[in-house]
Amino acid sequence: MRNYKSEYKNYHSKPKQKKNRAARNAARALVIKKRGAATVAGKDVDHRDRNPRNNSSRNLRVRSRSSNRADNQ
């Protein structure tokens, strides 16, 4: 059984992970602004080079949730 409180304390609350999460949120906002909310509804915004802080338009793409999350295993 996962201990979410401990997981947040030991990983998700670290400054580096907070910056990565903020960059992922910013990437989604950029794609919504550029292509519209309907384009990303029910989908993920993927970073081609797997670097969440690289939000250049060439590095971002919209993918289905299943295909994106299958690649991140």
Domain residue limits at 38: 4-71
For the purposes of burial, counting CB atoms within 10 Å of the CB of 40, is it exposed (0-12), middle (13-18) or buried (19 or more)? middle
pLDDT band at 72 (very low <50, low <70, confident <90, very high): confident
pTM: 0.89
- What is the maximum span of the chain, computed from C-alpha positions, in angstroms? 41
Task: Specify the number of domains making up the chain.
Answer: 1
pLDDT digits (tens, 9 = 90+) for 7-66: 999 999 999 999 999 999 999 999 999 999 999 999 999 999 999 999 999 999 999 999
